[in-house]
A and B are shown apart, each in its own frame.
Chain A
């Protein structure tokens, strides 16, 4: 018995096949979802992957947020369905108000692609339980609209409730408030982050590290043990 994890492809999604590979390498079964799907094919969890959905036109994630698939996704996520948003997926989740805050253009105004050091701040979410709190990991980061911002009250809430899931270490690559790289919702089933764990799952490929694999083993364990 394994878990079925959906990966949504929007027009302009780029890392859908990479995310499916990461899910497979973790031992779960990836299920392709199309943005026009009106149901989630009974998957146990969903990943919104990276890319430039709708060319990032208007604002990153702003158009994809209205895709048909988002309707059942929002409903089920509020009821506890685990959802992970990576990069553009994180942007879509903030546009859909499943996660607080928003992303602005990087403070240096350039696209940046680098192997980024992070600290796992919350190892109790559905997607981070295979890490330990305080663990330092390296995950590739690649975006132009990655500067996480929120109003002070939201930031205070996130900090006091332990909802900052990941923080940038050594370098804040884009000017994000409080060095925030990723956040979780209150229930811990919805997590979003700008770096790309699906690009750090094989020793030979990309940065040569596998620090991203625990995202996918965390959710698998949670679903299989549930």
Chain B
């Protein structure tokens, strides 16, 4: 039994001088003083627990908020946007009465500490965000970044992360259709584990995280609440309230995908019967977040009895219950007469569900424990009125030197033999090599609607079996480009994802992002962040694709060494009929290969500069968003009208990388001719943006050329699909089996 008296609101008011461990919980002195000012007294332990987690960087976006506003301020006019930033995930109209919700989040830090569970619970969290909008999750994607491929710790982290994503996602029945795997020593101590999810619903099924209607019941359902995922609460508990407890609990949560699968089915069944007024998933900050957000977004207040929360560990203190991040829990607001039916559905699915409180007609969030009131706050001050920082930022002193170190001046191959060796080296390098050893550990068939999955340019899911309506999703990010120029780097990430969606034949509609950066307390990092956000917001405005939501992950740094600034951008597209989709693989011998777009000498941040020279310097490729838009329009029209049979976007690794991938996937080679005005090296390795290769059936050549000519898009015939070699005429030929061995052997050799 606790010897200290319960720290109720009354007790707090009567004992103003009690010292609380606000610093250990991560609050700054002025932040704590602000809490005292808001409440007009010292907070209770439980209130302090809530404010400290909700005002953390992770939950409050206090360092990033001032910059993120641009996504709203510069948002392009877009009729498709149904729900924007601020909800669990954005929602976009894709036509025929369907709405799609999607979002990308990070689970970087936990995945380094405990790769399997960190990555698994990352999938679990993003999936609950999608369910909370009212949607059935239909696919996941996983953009991943690790340290050097041959570093011993990568062999600890990567297999665990991949197994965790597979172990959790496969068990939920969600096809994994895309993502990336990138290696760079800058991520050695800070791997990036981002996870994205797409959900589909009818327009009328959209649900929001708000608690309205006095008398409505607040139901907590899913897993019991345990001591997992509590960071600072253990300190709070052991130092202030009770000495007799286990002091340290694991800070990484443990996932149970089976429980989550039941949660999905049970929630969707409740939605179908229209039993839910408002809903929120329990992720970061657990009940603190769910109760304060539901209450502050609704019209009334909320009263919660914490004693009613089902516990995994009966010794948990109220502070710990409020802060616990136990997985697989959701909170629903349900009208009293529908509570019985809601509980019945939960019982059908063997999901524990408990009424823990109700919506009140006041404006306070009140939480009771053992009969005493331990929380009495204005929920808005917890959820939305946290501190906002204008962190100082400054262009780093080394930026000029980095940009002056021009990659275009690096020694280039002098002979055909050297060129050939560098091609083989490129396609075998860990970043350019086939990732099938990784992606084959994910189920991409489940649900029976997968039209395209990795290694296609974007994943594509059919959402209506009758009409063939589908959605496509691509995620991209290039930390090397962003390091050279964060403004352009963020735009290039968007451009690539946008292009990847269009390459498969889908029309780009909307954007989600996951912004991975170092410490915001470093002005150089903060400058990178500010520049990247500005770049992305400007580019979204110009391309007409609004940011619907996303996630910021800061403090990805060990000591002084921050990761490359790594904005990961997801673009969602829509396609009227998935039968018109365009795959990457070469389909038929004799088809003509065209290069779309302009090729310049652009090697800054390129894969070639990394693989051959271990170099990072100069400027990234030039951004031309109007060109990207035109290219996308051509690719979509050509796919819709049957003018092309395969297409591949050109990005890292340049044209030769794309040709090799299309050839290996199709099992058909290509004869390439270096176009006039280009040297073979630039033709093969340049990473100029705004380009794609397409394979055109001979019968369509005239029509395709006319279209490109009329629209002013440069289209250069560069060869033909043919044979079983990739033959760059006058330079070298590589057999498909040589290329396959190089491209597919690397990752298993390093990691299997």
Binding site for B on A (CB under 8 A): 11-12, 14-15, 17-18, 21-22, 50-52, 54-57, 108, 110-114, 140, 142, 144, 196, 198-199, 201-202, 204-207
**B258 A12 Cβ-Cβ under 8 A:** yes
The verdict on B381 contacting chain A, using a C-beta distance below 8 Å, is no
Q: Are A205 and B450 in contact (CB under 8 A)?
A: yes
A-B residue pairs in contact (CB < 8 Å), sample of 11 = A11-B350, A12-B171, A55-B171, A110-B163, A110-B441, A111-B167, A111-B441, A198-B448, A202-B448, A205-B450, A206-B445
Residue numbers in A under 8 Å from B752 (CB-CB): 108
Residues A55 and B445 in contact, CB atoms below 8 Å apart: no
B451 near A205 with CB under 8 A, answer yes
In this complex, what residue of B is CB-closest to A200? B445
- Give chain A nearest CB distance to B509 CB in angstroms: 22
Is B579's CB under 8 angstroms from A113's CB?
no
- Of all chain A residues, the one with the shortest Cβ separation from B450 is A206
Would you call B170 and A111 a contact (CB within 8 A)?
Answer: yes
Contact of A196 among B163, B170, B445, B581 (CB under 8 A): B445
B723 within 8 A of A: no
Q: Are B170 and A204 touching (Cβ within 8 A)? A: no
Asked if A140 contacts B578 (CB within 8 A), the reply is no
CA distance A114 to B261 in the complex (A): 23
Whether B443 is near chain A, meaning CB under 8 Å from some CB there, is yes
A-B contacts besides A55-B258, A111-B442, A113-B443, 9 pairs, CB < 8 Å: A15-B446, A51-B173, A55-B261, A110-B163, A111-B170, A112-B441, A199-B446, A205-B450, A206-B445
- In the complex, which of the residues B172, B349, B449 has the most CB atoms of chain A within 10 Å of its own CB atom? B449
B128 sits at the interface (CB 8 A) = no
Contacts of B170 in A (CB 8 A): 52, 111, 142, 144
Which of the listed residues A51, A57, A201, A207 has the most CB atoms from chain B within 10 Å of its own CB?
A51
- The answer to whether A142 and B258 touch (CB under 8 A), given A14-B173, A51-B173, A113-B441, is no
Nearest CB in chain B: distance from A71 CB, A: 19
- A interface footprint on B252-274 (CB within 8 Å = 1, 0 otherwise): 00001111011000000000000
Interchain residue pairs A-B with the least CB separation, the first 4 = A55-B258, A14-B173, A18-B448, A199-B445
B578 contacts A204, CB within 8 Å? yes
Give every chain B residue within 8 A of A201 (Cβ-Cβ). Answer: 448
Contact across chains for B450 and A113 when beta carbons are under 8 A apart:
no
- Of the four ranges (under 10, 10 to 19, 20 to 34, 35 or more), the interface on chain B belongs to 20 to 34
CA distance A110 to B752 in the complex (A): 10
Q: How far is the CA of A22 from the CA of B445 in the complex (A)?
A: 13
Which chain A residues border B465 with CB–CB below 8 Å?
21
CB neighbours (8 Å) of B350 from chain A are 11
A12 touching B261 in the complex, CB below 8 Å, given contacts A111-B166, A206-B450: yes
- Expressed in whole angstroms, the minimum distance between the Cβ of A20 and any Cβ of chain B is 10
Q: Does B440 contact A (CB under 8 A)?
A: yes
Q: Which residues of B, 157-175, contact A by the 8 Å Cβ criterion?
A: 163, 166-167, 170-173
Let me know if B256 and A55 touch, CB within 8 A: yes
- Inter-chain CA distance A22–B166, complex, in Å, is 25
A72-B675 Cα distance, complex, nearest whole Å: 71
| Alpha-carbon distance between A17 and B349 when the two chains are bound, in angstroms | 17
Tell me, rounded to whole Å, the shortest Cβ–Cβ distance linking A81 to chain B.
Answer: 25
The distance in angstroms between the C-alpha atoms of A57 and B258, with both chains bound, is 9
> In the assembled complex, how far is the CB of residue B514 from the closest CB belonging to chain A, in whole angstroms?
25
List B residues 445-465 near A (Cβ within 8 Å). Answer: 445-451, 462, 465
Q: Chain A residues near B448 (CB, 8 Å)?
A: 15, 17-18, 21-22, 198-199, 201-202, 205-206
B349 engages A113 (CB within 8 Å): no
Check B444 for interface membership: any CB of A closer than 8 A.
yes
How far does the alpha carbon of A110 sit from the alpha carbon of B163 in the complex, in Å?
A: 8
B443 neighbours in A (Cβ, 8 Å): 111, 113, 142
Give Cα A109 to B491, complex, Å: 41
Q: How many whole Å from A139's CB to the nearest CB in chain B?
A: 10
Q: How far does the Cβ of B384 sit from chain A's closest Cβ, in whole Å? A: 37
CA distance A197 to B89 in the complex (A): 35
Q: Within B416-459, which residues are at the interface with A (CB < 8 Å)?
A: 439-451
* CB pair B579 A204 closer than 8 Å: yes
Minimal beta-carbon separation of B260 from chain A (angstroms): 10
Q: How far is A18 from B450 in the complex, measured between Cα atoms in Å?
A: 11
Closest to B437 in A: A110
CA distance A17 to B136 in the complex (A): 13
Tell me the nearest residue of chain A to B442, going by C-beta.
A113
Chain B residues whose C-beta falls within 8 Å of the C-beta of A142 in the assembled complex: 170, 443, 445-446
Instruction: Enumerate chain B residues within 8 angstroms of A12, measured Cβ to Cβ.
Output: 171, 258, 261-262
Contact of A205 (CB < 8 Å), options: B256, B258, B441, B462: B462
Which residues of chain B (304-325) have a CB below 8 Å from chain A? none
Residues of B within 8 A of A140 (CB): 445
Most chain-A Cβ atoms within 10 A of its Cβ — which of B173, B441, B444?
B173
* Chain A min CB distance to B472 (Å): 14
Q: What's the nearest-Cβ distance from chain A to residue B502, in Å?
A: 19
Of chain B, the residue at the smallest CB distance from A202 is B448
Contact A14 B446 (CB under 8 A): yes
Q: In the complex the two chains form, what is the Cα distance from A205 to B258 in whole Å?
A: 26
Contacting residues, chain B, for A110 (C-beta < 8 A) = 163, 441
Minimum distance in angstroms from B619 CB to a CB of chain A: 40
User: Are B447's CB and A17's CB within 8 A?
Assistant: yes
Residues of chain A contacted by B446 (CB below 8 angstroms): 14-15, 18, 50, 142, 199
Name which residue of chain A comes closest to B461, CB basis.
A205
> Which of chain A's residues has its CB closest to B447's CB?
A18
Chain B's nearest CB lies how many Å from the CB of A195? 10
Q: Give the complex CA separation of A8 and B494 in angstroms.
A: 44
In the complex, which residue of chain A has the Cβ closest to the Cβ of B449? A205
CA distance in complex: A55, B262 (Å): 10
B119: min CB distance to chain A, Å: 13
Report chain B residues within 8 Å CB of A18. Answer: 446-448
Residue of A nearest to B256 (CB): A55
Decide if A52 touches B440 in the complex (CB within 8 Å).
no
Given the known interface contacts A11-B350, A12-B171, the answer about A113 and B258 at a Cβ–Cβ threshold of 8 Å is: no
By the criterion CB–CB under 8 Å, are B450 and A11 in contact?
no
> A205 — which chain B residues lie within 8 A by C-beta?
448-451, 462
Closest to B581 in A: A204
User: Which residue from chain A places its CB closest to the CB of B351 in the assembled complex?
Assistant: A11
With a cutoff of 8 Å between Cβ atoms, the chain B residues found around residue A204 in the complex are 451, 462, 578-579, 581
Interface residues in B250-301 by Cβ distance below 8 A to A read: 256-259, 261-262
- Cβ of B445 and Cβ of A11 under 8 Å apart? no
Of B258, B439, B450, the residue contacting A52 (CB under 8 A) is: B258
B264, chain A: closest CB distance, angstroms:
11
Complex Cα distance, B442 from A201, in Å, reads 21
The residue of chain B having its C-beta at the shortest distance from the C-beta of A15 within the complex is: B446
**Do residues B445 and A52 form an inter-chain contact, with CB atoms below 8 A?**
no
**Which of chain B's residues has its CB closest to A52's CB?**
B171
Smallest CB gap from B261: residue in A? A12
Residues of A within 8 A of B173 (CB): 14-15, 51
Q: A17-B448, A198-B448, A205-B451 are in contact. Are A11 and B171 (CB under 8 A)?
A: no
CB distance from B458 to the nearest CB of A (A): 16
Chain A residues contacting B450 (CB-CB under 8 Å) are 205-206
- Bound-complex Cα distance A142 to B445 (A): 8
Say how far B215's CB is from chain A's closest CB, in angstroms.
33
List of B residues within 8 angstroms of A113 by Cβ: 439-445
* Distance of B398 from chain A, by nearest CB (Å): 42
- Which of B258, B440, B442, B444 sits near A54, CB closer than 8 Å? B258
